[in-house]
Amino acid sequence: MRAIWSILAMTATVAGGPALAATAKRGSFGTTADGTAVEAVTLTGANGVRARIITLGATLQAFEAPDRAGKLADITIGYDDVKAYEAKPNYWGQTIGRFANRIAGGKFTLDGKAYQVTQNDKANALHGGVRGFDKAVWRITDVKQGAVASVTMVLVSPDGDQGFPGTLNVTVTYALDDKGALTIDFGATTDKPTIVNLTNHALFNLAGDGSPTGVLNQRLTIPASRYTPVDAALIPTGQMVPVAGTVFDFTKGRSLGDGIRDGRDPQIVIGRGWDHNWVLDKGITAEPGLAARMEDPASGRVLEVLSTEPGLQFYSGNFLDGTLVGKGGHLYRMGDGIALEPQKFPDTPNQPAFGSARLDPGQTYRHRMIYRVSVAR
């Protein structure tokens, strides 16, 4: 699949004229089983950072960043081709919706009317139900290059899709600058009251995809003094508990290997590691604020995740069990990648204390998040 880079390199630059600092190149990524074409757009910054986005799931399929020596590595896990994404679907870099994370029983009520979403996590709805946005082929509406290179994709989710009310018109724009910042803008409008919670679900390994050391020696910081504990079905109990004195305290940074298998904490036992929502101290913000910082001391690569949303779901790849073969023939196991998903809190529609995920006609849902890569010297 590494050859796809050369295929894309031969694709004509989207906009004519002289070469610009950040480029966008559009090409094919294959076809789905029903014959639908899947496109890829590769965004490249002047510093060499590049991101490949495919229309299947509006997915961040690859994200390459340099180490201290300038050597590029893909820091996300995933698949090399469409067939694998369809045969063994996972949430690896996809755009997640209509509602990221879990809804208890797949049920919620709006204006006194009960709704049932398709259940795909035992009795619960996870990441939009059986056929969420991650499994749809989105349509490219715009590709730009210049100081910032970008691609915009759209999707129309009809009224009743997976049980959600209202026709939802969704946009996602990936934009890469020359300083290593990949901004992802989500937007949505509806014709009926509904609920919306969109995010990206990339799993990161700053040592590089398939690195034998995995992520356990890497450090994570989460600026959150509280988190939301879960029950046996991974549904929040409704509490917001201090992280101080627990393995959920990432306020000062800690090694990912420190606590991931600490069976003395019943929450770690329930999640098979971390699979919880942190209550970000910044709350909801007009501009993206820091949600997480990840650093690999060996390579020097640093990833900062910023968002306008109030929560961060940190998932330590607990269900990667060695049965899935990903990019480059890599066999993925627990510790080979972690997800840092900024979003509204899980099960918000059923937990008033968590705020609101409601979207009404005439309103526009917006979420801006940023993956910013750099190098620690």
Nearest to 293 by CA among 224, 190, 233: 224
Buried b (16+ CB within 10 A) or exposed e, 254-274: bebeebbeeeeeebbebbbbb
Upstream peptide bond of 98 is cis (omega within 30 degrees of 0): yes
Q: Is 304 a catalytic residue?
A: no
Structure tokens at 15: 């906009």
Catalytic residue among 64, 295, 309, 341, which?
A: 341
Catalytic residue among 201, 276, 330, 367, which?
A: 201
Helix (H) or strand (E) holding 173: strand 168-176
* Burial environment of residue 245 by CB neighbours within 10 A (0 to 12, 13 to 18, 19 or more): exposed
3-state helix, strand, coil in the chain (%, to 5): 10, 40, 45
Q: Is 341 a catalytic residue?
A: yes
Nearest to 274 by CA among 199, 363, 203: 203
Tell me the catalytic residues.
201, 341
